[in-house]
């Protein structure tokens, strides 16, 4: 940033501060409702303390959120689950208290019915923005009309270096991944049309400039990717930052942090200066783990104010050290009633489990938590389709370990003890509000689905004992396992697909021996694949929409199906339900990380594992001997 004494007296200089959160996912307090205990991983209550301190520094400050704020933690579910008593969204209540200046929508805002979204956003005392989603002409589109605006033009009084005041106009535009209309088609039902993010930003920046904006901030609910050059790309942060007229960018969606060395290998990214395509940018993690800050310096020119300097910072708010802010007491008081009601709801009993359900070893073996969800899905669809022509088609269930470490940290695992279980245990196993989705697919499509699901594993080489099985920040929720088929995963082969679903090794096949009750499946054989609405809508690029035929079943959340299944069966496992295993590999071993809680279940894992000690970020390290795995 230019120094305060570097400018001629007649050149006016002002500063404006942009603070930003993203992907809060209703994490209002440092409290894990699925474990019924306090945490130290970050929260909006911690953000509130840091915001209060930064606002007090006599710099014109704006506070924005970049989307995915309404859903994700149990405190947000009361609005839909206890409608008779819960009328106000605690998330909007909290954001009103913090006096957000503008908020952009994220894709997860559309995980809830349009009526609930309208109710929540109607309570907001701040502009709600989205420039690339527009109401269609489809029946019922009125439910989305007027819920958000494309842009907002804010005014702030700022003082220059001589103490004179000026009115600065800040334009704000927001976009989200256009794929949301497919991911949440169950609720959107064609009533919204999505536009390419970069095109929407470009068009609306020009409009903001015409309306007199001195500074333009893009709230881009999207990540940064080396393959974001495609027009409809899910992660287009670099392209948006390169739009002429954009002065600052807030990214998100992928739950990562920028500036960070993690993005140093990308062209047009400067992790030290905190710029994307030369534009100041920040990505503030998720769940209140970080607060983004962009300080902009502007000089007055004959053509108006011009950004001449920037300083970018992300404030880490997770951890229990004395350096981290405590939760703001006033913020806590605002949502105290909602917190108390959530505790009561989450502690209600739903049934019992005969054995523990955990996900500590879900990346290396079939796990009880995933199997329970799979059995619940299959049972529901069998009942829903009973007596129809489809009742004779084999039903498969695809399940991913939604809580399996990674970016969520060493405590981000399912760990439900045997015995009486409550609502919080169900939420632990199924933390999201996804609905059941059923698609009719051919055998060849199932195999490609499985190839994509195992692409996050590294290729293993013989005689290497310390090679990583998968990257520590791998998106483990993309490791879908299919139940109802037996199949083998061979990690001596390179991945057929990249993490974004693109085909990179057409000749490689990791999946083999795919069979149904001992008989190899055929490419044309029909199956009903039970997944969730995100995957069924194309999320993660697992299935092209033209490959599958959607099967209508009564709409229901996966979480509710699991609750019903536990109540009926006490979680009794169907060991005959086939699924996956790794292929044994001679003279091959690999290392992986899991949560410290895994130690209690090591003996029951039934795998050739050796504990190697603590790893990074609080995880424990294990080595698995692939040569000692049991041959199918």
Q: What SS3 state is found at 523?
A: coil
Which stretch of 248-262, 312-326, 439-453, 549-563 has the lowest confidence by average pLDDT?
A: 312-326
C-alpha–C-alpha distance, residues 310 and 327, integer Å: 29
Indicate whether 395 belongs to any domain.
yes
As a whole number, the mean pLDDT across the chain is: 92
At 470 the pLDDT is: 95
C-alpha–C-alpha distance, residues 491 and 496, integer Å: 11
Range 563-573 average pLDDT: 86
Whether the CB-CB separation of 148 and 176 falls below 8 Å is answered with: no
Nearest Cα neighbor of 357 from 293, 289, 306, 430 is 430
What φ, ψ does residue 374 adopt, rounded to 5°? -60, -45
Q: How far is CA 434 from CA 19, 86, 235, 311, 430, in A?
A: 31, 21, 22, 39, 9
- Which of 294, 323, 342 is the last residue in one of the domains? 342
Q: How confident is the model at residue 337 (pLDDT cuts 50, 70, 90)?
A: very high
Are 386 and 425 in the same domain? yes
Are 308 and 372 in the same domain? no
Whether the CB-CB separation of 212 and 253 falls below 8 Å is answered with: no
pTM: 0.89
Residues sharing a CB contact under 8 Å with residue 442, sequence separation 6 or more, in sequence order: 523, 524, 525, 526, 527, 547
Indicate whether 564 belongs to any domain.
yes
Are 135 and 89 in the same domain? yes
Strand 395-399 versus strand 526-532 pairing type = parallel
Q: What is the DSSP string of 302-327?
A: TTEEEEEEEEEEEEE--S-STTSPPP
Q: What SS3 state is found at 93?
A: helix
Whether the CB-CB separation of 415 and 597 falls below 8 Å is answered with: yes
Q: What is the DSSP letter of 600?
A: G
Q: How far is CA 99 from the centre of its chain?
A: 25
**For residue 573, pLDDT beyond 90:** no
C-alpha–C-alpha distance, residues 226 and 240, integer Å: 13
Are 332 and 355 in the same domain? no
- Which of 319, 342, 365 is the last residue in one of the domains? 342
**Tens-digit pLDDT profile for residues 383-427:** 999 999 999 999 999 999 999 998 888 999 999 999 999 999 999
Indicate whether 378 belongs to any domain.
yes
Q: How confident is the model at residue 3 (pLDDT cuts 50, 70, 90)?
A: very low
Peptide bond between residue 259 and the one before it cis (omega within 30 degrees of 0): yes
The number of residues in the chain equals 632
Q: What SS3 state is found at 480?
A: coil
| Sign of the Cα pseudo-torsion (330, 334, 337, 338, in order) | negative
Which stretch of 9-23, 228-242, 283-297 has the lowest confidence by average pLDDT?
A: 228-242
Q: List the Cα angle 332/108/548 in 5-degree steps.
A: 155
Nearest Cα neighbor of 484 from 397, 604, 362, 582 is 397
* Residues paired with residue 62 on neighbouring β-strands, in sequence order: 18
Range 10-16 average pLDDT: 89
Indicate whether 6 belongs to any domain.
no
Domain count, the chain: 2
- Determine the structural domain holding residue 45 and report its residue range: 13-342
Are 179 and 248 in the same domain? yes
**Tens-digit pLDDT profile for residues 451-480:** 999 999 999 999 898 999 998 878 888 999
Are 218 and 190 in the same domain? yes
Indicate whether 8 belongs to any domain.
no
Indicate whether 157 belongs to any domain.
yes
C-alpha–C-alpha distance, residues 99 and 92, integer Å: 10
Range 124-153 average pLDDT: 95
Are 324 and 289 in the same domain? yes
Q: How far is CA 622 from the centre of its chain?
A: 27
Are 283 and 424 in the same domain? no
Are 517 and 422 in the same domain? yes
Integer-rounded Cα radius of gyration of the chain: 25
Residues sharing a CB contact under 8 Å with residue 558, sequence separation 6 or more, in sequence order: 373, 376, 377, 430, 432, 434, 435, 436, 532
Which stretch of 191-205, 263-277, 572-586 has the lowest confidence by average pLDDT?
A: 572-586
C-alpha–C-alpha distance, residues 384 and 165, integer Å: 67
CATH of the domain at 250: 3.60.21.10
Indicate whether 235 belongs to any domain.
yes
Dihedral (Cα; 340, 345, 351, 355), 10-degree rounding: -50
Residues sharing a CB contact under 8 Å with residue 26, sequence separation 6 or more, in sequence order: 69, 70, 71, 72, 73, 75, 76, 90, 91
- Which of 307, 342, 377 is the last residue in one of the domains? 342
**For residue 306, pLDDT beyond 90:** yes
**372 compared with 9, residue with greater pLDDT:** 372
Are 319 and 370 in the same domain? no
**For residue 87, pLDDT beyond 60:** yes
Are 274 and 383 in the same domain? no
**496 compared with 228, residue with greater pLDDT:** 496
Q: How far is CA 514 from CA 249, 484, 586, in A?
A: 46, 10, 22
Three-state helix/strand/coil letters over 240-301 = HHCCCCCCEEECCCCCCEECCHHHCCCCCEECCCCEECCEEEEEECCCCCEEEEEEEEEEEE
Whether the CB-CB separation of 598 and 361 falls below 8 Å is answered with: yes
CATH of the domain at 396: 3.90.780.10
Indicate whether 4 belongs to any domain.
no
Range 310-317 average pLDDT: 96
C-alpha–C-alpha distance, residues 111 and 428, integer Å: 18
Are 89 and 134 in the same domain? yes
C-alpha–C-alpha distance, residues 28 and 586, integer Å: 49
């Amino acid at each position: 940033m230019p120094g305060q004494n570097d400018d001629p007296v007649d050149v006016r200089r002002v500063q404006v501060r942009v603070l930003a959160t993203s992907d809060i996912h209703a994490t209002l307090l440092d409290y894990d409702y699925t474990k019924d205990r306090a945490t130290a991983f970050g929260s909006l209550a911690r953000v509130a303390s840091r915001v209060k301190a930064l606002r007090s520094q006599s710099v014109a400050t704006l506070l924005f959120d970049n989307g995915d704020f309404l859903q994700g933690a149990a405190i947000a579910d009361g609005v839909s689950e206890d409608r008779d008593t819960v009328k106000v969204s605690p998330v909007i209540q909290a954001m009103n208290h913090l006096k957000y200046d503008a908020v952009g929508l994220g894709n997860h805002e559309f995980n809830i019915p349009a009526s609930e979204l309208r109710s929540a956003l109607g309570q907001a005392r701040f502009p709600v923005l989205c420039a690339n989603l527009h109401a269609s002409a489809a029946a019922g589109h009125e439910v989305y009309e007027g819920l958000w605006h494309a842009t907002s033009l804010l005014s702030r009084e700022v003082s220059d270096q001589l103490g004179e005041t000026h009115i600065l106009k800040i334009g704000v535009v927001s976009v989200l991944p256009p794929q949301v209309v497919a991911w949440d088609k169950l609720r959107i039902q064609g009533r919204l049309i999505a536009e390419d993010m970069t095109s929407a930003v470009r068009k609306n920046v020009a409009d903001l400039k015409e309306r007199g904006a001195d500074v333009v901030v893009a709230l881009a609910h999207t990540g940064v990717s080396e393959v974001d050059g495609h027009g409809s790309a899910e992660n287009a942060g670099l392209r948006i930052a390169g739009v002429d007229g954009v002065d600052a960018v807030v990214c998100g969606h992928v739950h990562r942090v920028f500036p960070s060395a993690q993005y140093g290998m990308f062209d047009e990214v400067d992790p030290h200066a905190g710029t994307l395509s030369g534009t100041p940018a920040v990505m503030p993690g998720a769940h209140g783990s970080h607060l983004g800050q962009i300080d902009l310096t502007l000089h007055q020119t004959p053509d108006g104010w011009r950004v001449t300097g920037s300083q970018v910072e992300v404030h880490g708010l997770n951890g229990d050290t004395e350096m981290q802010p405590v939760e703001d007491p006033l913020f806590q008081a605002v949502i105290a009633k909602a917190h108390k009601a959530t505790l009561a709801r989450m502690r209600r009993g739903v049934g019992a489990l005969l054995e523990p359900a955990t996900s500590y070893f879900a990346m290396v073996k079939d796990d009880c938590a995933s199997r329970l969800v799979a059995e619940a899905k299959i049972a529901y669809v069998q009942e829903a389709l009973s007596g129809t022509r489809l009742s004779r088609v084999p039903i498969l269930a695809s399940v991913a370990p939604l809580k399996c470490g990674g970016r969520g940290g060493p405590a981000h695992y399912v760990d439900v003890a045997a015995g009486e279980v409550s609502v919080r245990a169900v939420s632990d196993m199924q933390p999201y509000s996804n609905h059941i989705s059923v698609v009719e697919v051919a055998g060849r499509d199932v195999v490609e689905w499985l190839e994509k699901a195992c692409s996050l594993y590294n290729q293993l080489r013989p005689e290497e004992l310390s090679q990583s099985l998968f990257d520590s920040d791998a998106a483990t929720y993309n490791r879908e396992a299919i139940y109802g088929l037996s199949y083998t995963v061979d990690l001596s082969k390179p991945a057929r697909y990249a993490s974004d679903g693109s085909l990179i090794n057409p000749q490689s096949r990791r999946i083999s021996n795919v069979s149904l009750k001992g008989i190899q499946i055929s490419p044309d054989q029909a199956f009903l694949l039970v997944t969730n609405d995100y995957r069924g809508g194309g999320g993660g690029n697992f299935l092209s929409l033209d490959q599958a035929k959607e099967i209508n079943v009564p709409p229901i959340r996966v979480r509710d199906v699991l609750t019903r299944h536990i109540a009926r069966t006490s979680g009794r496992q169907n060991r005959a339900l086939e699924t996956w295993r790794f292929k044994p590999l001679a003279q091959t071993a690999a290392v992986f990380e899991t949560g410290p809680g895994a130690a209690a279940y090591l003996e029951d894992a039934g795998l050739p594992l050796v504990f190697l000690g603590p790893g990074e970020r609080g995880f424990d390290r294990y080595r698995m001997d692939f040569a000692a795995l049991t041959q199918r």
